[in-house]
Structure 1
Amino acid sequence: MRILVTGGAGFIGSEYVRMLLTGSAPGLSLGAVTVLDKLTYSGNLANLDPVRDDPRLRFVQGDICDPGTVDEVVAGHDVIVHFAAESHVDRSISGAAPFVTTNVLGTQTLLDAALRHGTGRFVHVSTDEVYGSIAEGSWTETWPLSPNSPYSASKAGSDLLALAYHRTHGMDVVLTRCSNNYGPYQFPEKVIPLFVTNLLDGGTVPLYGDGGNIRDWLHVHDHCVGIALVQQKGRAGEVYHIGGGTELTNKELTERLLEACGAGWDRVVPVTDRKGHDRRYSLDITKISEELGYAPSIPLDRGLAETVTWYRDNRAWWEPLKTTTPTSPRPVSPA
């Protein structure tokens, strides 16, 4: 099986590539992996260092919005797993154009190429943020989409495009939506690596509003296990939720990170809440659990402890990235 992974030098995509090449993706046999990544600020070839010398790995630097590059790369692949996206909410509020271009037009370019070349399966990786906010209970896969940020709106658009190609052309498209990811190799603009690296450097961390926004936390390894199950056994045209099963307020998360880094609340700086800040996300994972046997395996306490240790031990990876991620307090999204 030849698998094309878009965004495979990013946080989640590189975890998937490492799993594929080390044989830790459940049930998947592998012939070769091609990574297509533009290497924007959050794409990093160092994320692939553990598997860089594997002869089955091919890396192509290119833009998913470039039809020529995409057409050439897609040819000959059996499966596309599509991670590539602009994903930071705050950046989308500052400027929405790159999010619409990459997330919507880039996905359309990939879908067109997959249709032309008869790609066997197209796995589209999305987010719980497309649903907006939910006060109580959990979203099922049939819940109406109601995105509140330019980022989530662009992802909702790409979701609908992917499903439309299944319904219109009969393409073998499956779609996943996940809760908030964390773990090694996450670019330090997202809340957990930002807080951890700031605290390890003796700096302060920003906490939005009253700290009461609630997120479900999912270790990146568990997320990728879920994607592997969907790639292998998911039903065409279906959406599958992948969640972690542990909801925390941002204040509770901050407390755990302070404790893990040996810091106190004097290191926390309150900041004005973000525009359109969703209050709570919560995914119902009954469908993927019952159909495909998915269950998160990494408890949050263990996962956070291992993540903090990884950042403590891998300064050479994240310190150069902090030049584009200020350590001074700045509004940062929990998603």
Structure 2
Amino acid sequence: MTILVTGGAGFIGGNFVLDWLGGCDEPVVNLDKLTYAGNLLTLQSLAGDARHQFVRGDIADSALLHQLLQQYRPRAVLNFAAESHVDRSIHGPDAFIATNIVGSFRLLEAVRDYWQQLPAAEQAAFRLLQVSTDEVYGSLAPGDAGFSEQHRYQPNSPYAASKAAADHLVRAWHHTYGLPVLTTHCSNNYGPYQFPEKLIPLVLHNALAGQPLPIYGDGQQVRDWLYVADHCAALRTVLAHGQPGEHYNIGGNAELSNLQLVHTLCALLDELRPGAAPYATLIRHVADRPGHDRRYAIDAGKLQRELGWQPAESFASGIRKTVQWYLDNAEWVHSVSSRSYRSWTQRQYGAS
């Protein structure tokens, strides 16, 4: 028994691989292109572990996909591989179309070909899990109920549109070909090993360096925050017990505005690594990004009712663990803070 994980050197995929092998001995074949956001240091604890087979490659490489599926004969495929940063999708959508849409299509076709050749019992047990996002649903008004699985797709960024397109392909391959698929939609993840272009590690990285803490617009954009280990537990639950063709929303029950979040991070840093002045003095408001969604919120009631999952971490406990991890793992942070990343943040947020 083996699973194939795509994008398993990225933030969520890497955490999932570590979580999976920390809880069972079923081997993982880990396919990752190692773009700027992929980092093998995330997986260094698995060096020499026979249960983990890393393969550098692209999900758009059909020949490689066919080779891996035939060689390792996985019972499940989990697709984490994606370009995922909204700001980058605004400046350069091409990579998002190539990976999130074309790559997903080629993965689906390779998996369909493999699945159709399996014996009947293995066909019935096989699953393809598409890891998607709440951003495909669009934006909510302040008083609206959280996104349910029935909420219509209304993507507002090139990133969200590319993920929505991939989800539609997954749905079509289920309904047309019978491929047993599962789709999950998570809210904003946070935790260890997150690339520091995302808000939480960006704020921690800049604060510890005494650099400005950029907040888009008025900072009142609201997100639901999900600790990545809780997300991994939810994915394991969906893979084991989800019904093919179904969608499952995964949320952390923790809605905060971006400004509230940054002040929370500053307060934790003031406590755990005090500086010469309160870190909140570094906060700077910068021009808002185009088409910035105002609010996301997840209704994860279906997952709780039908499969019995709920988050183990409160936001208070999860964010404290996260800040402490970044303080304790400066080497990992330094390794991903390359010159190209610094150039990106300078271009994105400016000097203010």
Could you tell me which residue of structure 1 aligns to residue 4 of structure 2?
4
Q: 1:326 aligns with which of 335, 342, 346?
A: 342
Q: Quote how far apart the aligned CAs of 1:320 are.
A: 2.6
- Structure 2 counterpart of 1:127: 133
The reply on whether 1:288 has 2:341 as its aligned counterpart is no
Listed one character per residue, the Cα deviations across residues 166-188 of structure 1 (whole Å, up to 9, x for unaligned) are 00000110000000000000011
Tell me the TM-score normalised to structure 2 length. Answer: 0.90
In the alignment, which residue of structure 2 is the partner of 1:232? 240
Q: Which residue of 1 aligns with 2:89?
A: 92
Q: CA deviation at 1:202?
A: 1.7
Return the alpha-carbon distance in structure 1 between the equivalents of residues 38 and 285 of structure 2.
Answer: 30
Q: How does 1:125-204 map to 2 (within 5 A)?
A: 125-135=131-141, 136-204=144-212
Identity %, equivalent residues: 46
- 1:309 Cα deviation after fit: 1.1
CA shift digits 1:256-293 (9 cap, x unpaired): 01111123332011100110000000111110001111
Return the offset for 1:192.
0.2
Moved more, 109-118 or 260-269: 260-269
- 2:40 alignment counterpart: 45
Aligned residue for 1:241, secondary structure, equals strand
Distance 1:234 1:282 in 2: 22
**1:209 alignment counterpart:** 217
Contact 1:10 1:42 in 2 (8 A): yes
Q: After superposing the two structures, state which structure 1 stretch, 309-318 or 260-269, moved more.
A: 260-269
- Highest Rg: 1 or 2? 2
Structure 1 residue ranges without an equivalent (≥5): 24-28
Deviation at 1:203, TM superposition (A): 1.5
Q: Please point out which of 58, 78, 82 is paired with 1:81.
A: 78
Instruction: Work out the CA distance in 1 between the residues paired with 2:317 and 2:46.
Output: 25
Q: Is residue 278 from structure 1 mapped to residue 284 from structure 2 by the alignment? A: no
Secondary structure of the 2:214 match is strand
SS at match of 1:77: coil
Contact 2:207–2:279 (8 Å) recurs in 1: no
Q: Deviations over 1:187-238 (max 9, x none)?
A: 1110000101111122111011011000000000000100100000000000
1:304–1:127 Cα change, 3 Å: same
Contact 2:180 2:244 (C-alpha < 8 Å) held by counterparts: yes
Q: Residue 26 of structure 1 corresponds to which residue in structure 2?
A: none
Q: Distance in 2 between matches of 1:255 and 1:83?
A: 30
Structure (1/2) with the larger helix percentage: 2
Q: Quote the Cα distance in structure 2 between the aligned partners of 1:300 and 1:165.
A: 37
Q: Distance in 2 between the 1:90 and 1:298 partners?
A: 28
| 1:30 CA drift (Å) | 4.6
Matched, 1:250 2:247: no
Q: What is the Cα deviation at residue 304 of structure 1?
A: 1.1
Structure 2 distance, partners of 1:47, 1:228, is 20
User: Partners in 2 of 1:4 and 1:201 — Cα distance?
Assistant: 38
| Higher mean displacement: 116-125 or 208-217 | 116-125
SS in 2 for 1:261: helix
Q: Structure 1 pair 87/153, CA: closer, same or farther in 2 (3 Å)?
A: same
Instruction: Determine helix, strand or coil for the equivalent of 2:43.
Output: helix
- What letter corresponds to residue 244 of structure 2 in structure 1? A
Give 1:21's aligned residue: 21
TM-score relative to the length of structure 1: 0.95
SS at match of 2:337: helix
The match for 1:36 is 31
3-state DSSP of counterpart to 2:136: helix
SS at match of 1:73: helix
Q: Look up the equivalent residue of 1:166 and give its one-letter code.
A: H
Q: Which AA in structure 1 matches 2:84? A: S
User: How many residues get paired?
Assistant: 327
After superposing the two structures, state which structure 1 stretch, 322-331 or 37-46, moved more: 322-331
CA root-mean-square deviation: 1.4
Q: Distance in 1 between matches of 2:180 and 2:236?
A: 15
Match in the other structure for 1:303: 318
253-262 or 213-222, which deviates more: 253-262
Structure 2 residue runs of 5 or longer lacking an equivalent are 116-122, 271-277
